[in-house]
A and B are shown apart, each in its own frame.
Chain A
Amino acid sequence: MSHHKPDPSKSVNLTIDGLPVTVPEGTTILEAARKLGIHIPVLCDHPDLHKRAVCRVCVVECDGAGKLKAACANDVWEGVKVITNSPKIQAIRKTIVELILADHPQDCLTCIRNQKCELQSLALQFGLKDLTFPRSDVESRPNIDTNTLVRDMGKCVKCGRCVDVCQEVQSVRAINTAHRSLEYEVTTPYDQELIEGPCVYCGQCAAVCPVGAIYENDQTALVWKAIDDPERHVVVQTAPAVRVALGDEFGLPKGAITTGKMATALRRLGFTKVFDTDWSADVTILEEGNELLHRLQNGGKLPMITSCSPGWINFSEVFYPDLLDHLSTCKSPQQMFGALVKTYYAQISGVDASKITSVSIMPCTAKKFEAQRPEMNSSGYQDVDVVLTTRELARMIKMAGLDFEQLPETPFDQLMGDSTGAAVIFGTSGGVMEAALRTVYEVVTGEALAPLDLEAVRGHQGLKTVEVDLKGTKVKIMVANGLANARLVMDSIRAGTCDATFIEVMCCPGGCVGGGGQPYGNSQIKLERKDGLYKADKQLPLRKSHDNPEVKALYENYLGAPLGEKSHHLLHTHYSTGGKNHWAKTGH
């Protein structure tokens, strides 16, 4: 199967709109045109997904042929003369966009994607004015699933991006296309609710949707209400990956570290205490690192697999119920924080836990689901009351009229606000592994990991494997980035062919920087966010979780030791095949 594979070492010469250009073989017409500064409009195309060429907005003329070609899906060939812009092509593209609009509810002003909609941008680009095709009676019909994801198939433009990401990138296959012609649609098997199928709530479908057809369930109203309620003591935590993505919403450079501005914004929004999930990420490392050592020393189940990514937990429960004892019993940092805010913080601050509204800002839609899991109540209350995605936080900041760029930088509040560089890198694939090794290595060998930067686990490759020497014991570790790669690892464990000791899995490609609740972007932007996180790590005075003074204080003053009785009660959990499906059966 090699003959049709393009050879990028060969050059292809062509002209686009009369301009000569030379590109490697295998370059699409779309990419070649970009090289000349010509941006051919697209709708279904997405740089991180397979080619589908179904919207036909990017059609171009090649060598004068009457049948146009989709620029997104056709590679250039030697000598081809491409026309991307002529009255004929403009008219055809315009007609296509009008056809889509005629089958789309034009409620842009009240749509969640207003001004962030790729269809709206096309309408603007083509200067559409007189829409003369009769409109179909299609209306917005949002369906909120488990308070987490909203699917509004009335707005679906049937581009197929969500299906591709769900099937091919995440290997979940919760949604597919069904029926044909006018009934052609994106749906679940037998039109069941997401909760009834294999959906893991990663929200990658929402992250790639060009319009307002799949999105996070916006819960900002709940938070505004709590803030406004004098009876409520509203505490917020912010996940590591939020700080390097939030700036996107306000025109800051991609990957810009906005920690201090974000803390200020949260305070101005009215949160009583502004804390950091990074703090509980450091707690997670102490618990998880010690759990690993415990398993190693006591013949426990290996490989042990990280458990901070809730989409990944859902995935395990759905697809690998026989391997759940490989998962670390540690709750995610969000849930550790939630359990501690209504116990430890309540006790120290003297606030009645029943009065605390615990809010988290997450890059993630699956976190909304996780917070509602019935077992996440070890404080005696729901540990995290409301989870907002990065996009929702940005909405609150805009609604409050805060000029984000001009905000001064302020630190997090004390007690649960200190963190280390190890915690901040949780937000990118490989980060949890690196953070864990910084602590585990030092606990086992008595020496600091050197160098502290574990380059071998960094980057957004699909699978990374490294061997670490723990005082003579060679330990193989793996990092799986995205669920299709996690599936490979789990299949190898099931087959008995996996010789790793410790494995990190992040549900979303790139890790939390690419979470389903992040500002819209692509893999390039995820890399810039990743760089932002490693920069933040370097800038922090402490870079190992066990050095975090507030975490030390937590153990000294409250928990005792990692894996102790209190930890066991508050910070660890269990998994079951019923974990997600239980919900489908009981409604809660």
Chain B
Amino acid sequence: MSKLVTLVSEGAGQIDPISVAAYEGVGGYQGLKKAVGLTAEQVISEVKKAKLLGRGGAAYPAGSKWEHLLHIPETPKYIVCNADEGEPGTFKDKVILGQLPLKLIEGITIAGFVFGAKAGYIYVRGEYRKIQKRILQAIENAKKAGYLGQNILGKGFDFDIQVISGAGAYVCGENSALLNSTEGKVGRPRIKPPHLAEVGLFLQPTLVNNVESLSSIPAIVLKGGDEFLKIGHPDSGGTKLICLSGHTAKPGVYEIPLGKITLREAIYDAELGNGLKGGKNLKFFHLGGQSGPIGPAALLDTPYSYTDLRKAGLTVGSGAIVVMDESVSIIDYLIGVTEFFIHESCGKCVPCREGNKQLISVLRKLAVPGGANQTDLANLRRLVTTMTAASFCGLGQTATAALNSAWKHFKEEFEANVSKTTAAAA
């Protein structure tokens, strides 16, 4: 029996992505048709039953987010789709956006119906320029077919979607920075509270969800929350699009049921990763993007679910699984990760701006035999603590996740190049 499923990705790569008829042919718009016959509370109740956790990386329960927004009286409300997919090693939203944009559009439209919104926005990363055009065509076709625009499905519900292009900043994947950027402001994170549900886009109540989360909504409405939950893990229903890359033999995006396969299966099964290139041994895997943790081969038997991975000190995050073989030096790898965060930090808070800069200086010393001393190592530890606990936004808080987990599993590599002296004695 195949370990792969097609719940969210049904039809991807097989149908004309912008054709409404083709999308209807794979069950498209059944969810919306059902949703408009339900109340907002009923739809949200299904989302809650489904235990859909946010697929962008933060794993926030979508049902709670939706319920919170529903209870906010102010209008208008806005629906914003975070399609800024900037986590390195993550390219699963790209599959939906490029091959199945109508699925996302349907999900956003259901959200628009639930919250009585008139406008939705898809904030697509700037590098997906061609895909942006495709999404626009899909939106036009949905309008022509009566699934967007005025009086949708004859229910007196008006809703339209705009596409906003990012311009290359990773931090704009942070929801509040994304809203600033959408408003035409500099894409730096906002101070919170207030939460975006209360004061979001143009200071109005706003739902911000990831592409994959919103694309799961049609299935949840159509099958019901209970059925959706059964497909996945008891704590988190449904499927996850995972992205295999690095030294994997078969890089790509795969849809798997949450909790029903292990990391080992994801990386080694013939219909998934099929092992490592050149049959080499795995040294570690990096989960959820640059902001996620690193795990050693010893953890390969962890089931791929939010709960199980968390227990093992790992995370689902964005769904990225970067596989690294034994030729890779941990320190070199972490230098790459930290260079990424130095490039992408917005720069406004001290722990992230200054912390990443200091981190890389220690890591570069650790890459040279005898280059570092005990003081450097102590500094590395307190930088991790400070950045994780005190950074302004998720970017700075998670910039040390890879380093911190690598410290746990590969401590000897950190200590290999450290002389026994302290700075004062050196």
Name A's B-contacting residues (CB within 8 A): 1, 3-4, 51-57, 59, 66-68, 70, 73-75, 88, 91-92, 95-96, 99-100, 102-103, 130, 132-134, 136, 158, 160, 177, 179-184
Contact = CB atoms under 8 A, between A and B. Distances in A.
A234 B349 CA distance: 49
A182 B390 contact: no
Given A54-B348, A100-B350, A102-B358, 7 more contacts: A56-B390, A56-B392, A66-B388, A96-B390, A158-B347, A180-B169, A182-B353
B298 interface: no
A95 B353 CA distance: 13
Contacts of B348: 52, 54, 158, 160, 177, 184
Interface string B375-402: 1001100110110111110000100000
Contact of B354 (A3, A75, A91, A99): A99
A102 B350 contact: no
Contacts of A88: 385, 389
A3 B72 CA distance: 8
A103 B352 CA distance: 13
B384 to A, nearest CB: 10
Contact of A96 (B342, B343, B345, B351): B351
Contacts of B356: 181
B385 A92 contact: yes
A52 to B, nearest CB: 7
Contact of B385 (A1, A57, A73, A91): A91
Interface centre among A1, A55, A56 (most CB of B within 10 A): A56
Interface in B156-201: 169, 171, 186, 188, 191, 193-194, 198-199
A182 B423 contact: no
Given A1-B203, A133-B358, A184 B346 contact: yes
A95 B354 CA distance: 10
A484 B199 CA distance: 24
B391 A3 contact: no
B199 A180 contact: no
Interface of B: 72-74, 169, 171, 186, 188, 191, 193-194, 198-199, 203, 342-351, 353-358, 361, 375, 378-379, 382-383, 385-386, 388-392, 397, 423-424
A116 to B, nearest CB: 21
21 contacts: A3-B74, A4-B194, A51-B191, A54-B392, A57-B350, A66-B388, A68-B389, A75-B193, A88-B385, A91-B386, A92-B382, A92-B386, A92-B389, A92-B390, A95-B386, A96-B350, A99-B358, A100-B354, A102-B358, A133-B379, A181-B356
B382 A1 contact: no
A96 B379 CA distance: 12
Question: Which of A75, A179, A182 has the largest count of B CB atoms less than 10 A from its CB?
Answer: A182
A461 to B, nearest CB: 25
Contacts of B343: 181
A53 B361 contact: no
B191 A53 contact: yes
Given A3-B198, A66-B388, A100-B350, A180 B355 contact: no
Nearest to A100: B350
A392 B258 CA distance: 68
A53 B392 contact: yes
Nearest to A73: B191
Contacts, number: 119
A73 to B, nearest CB: 6
Query: Interface residues of B: mostly helix, strand, loop or mixed?
Result: helix
B74 A1 contact: yes
Contacts of A183: 347
Given A74-B193, A99-B358, A184 B392 contact: no
Contacts of A179: 347
A56 B74 contact: no
A182 B347 contact: yes
A497 B355 CA distance: 53
Nearest to B74: A1
Contacts of B391: 56
Contacts of B388: 66-67
Contact of B423 (A4, A59, A74, A132): A132
Nearest to B355: A99
Contacts of A59: 389-390
B250 to A, nearest CB: 35
A80 to B, nearest CB: 13
Task: State the 6 A-B residue pairs at the shortest beta-carbon distance, nearest first.
Answer: A184-B347, A99-B354, A181-B345, A95-B386, A181-B347, A180-B347
B183 to A, nearest CB: 16
Nearest to B422: A132
A181 B392 contact: no
A161 to B, nearest CB: 13
B353 A184 contact: yes
B191 A95 contact: no
A517 B160 CA distance: 53
Contacts of B186: 177
B354 A103 contact: yes
A158 B351 CA distance: 12
Given A4-B193, A158-B348, A182 B357 contact: yes
A42 to B, nearest CB: 13
A393 to B, nearest CB: 35
Contacts of B72: 3
B124 to A, nearest CB: 20
A47 to B, nearest CB: 16
A181 B375 CA distance: 25
Contacts of A158: 347-348, 350, 353
Interface centre among B186, B350, B355 (most CB of A within 10 A): B350
A66 B397 CA distance: 11
B191 A52 contact: yes
B191 A56 contact: no
A112 to B, nearest CB: 23
Contacts of B171: 180
A91 to B, nearest CB: 6
A99 B347 contact: no
B74 A99 contact: no
A310 B203 CA distance: 36
A391 B393 CA distance: 38
B380 to A, nearest CB: 11
Nearest to A160: B348
A533 to B, nearest CB: 36
Chain B CB within 10 A, most for which of A66, A92, A136, A180: A180
Contact of B198 (A4, A100, A133, A180): A4
A56 B393 CA distance: 11
Contacts of A96: 350-351, 386, 390
A182 B348 CA distance: 10
Nearest to B199: A4
Contact of B375 (A56, A132, A160): A132
A52 B191 CA distance: 7
A134 B354 CA distance: 11
Contacts of A136: 357
Nearest to A136: B357
Contacts of A92: 382, 385-386, 389-390
A53 B385 CA distance: 18
A73 B191 CA distance: 8
B208 to A, nearest CB: 17
Contacts of A56: 349-351, 390-392
Contacts of B74: 1, 3
A583 B199 CA distance: 44
Contacts of B375: 132
Contacts of B351: 56, 96, 99
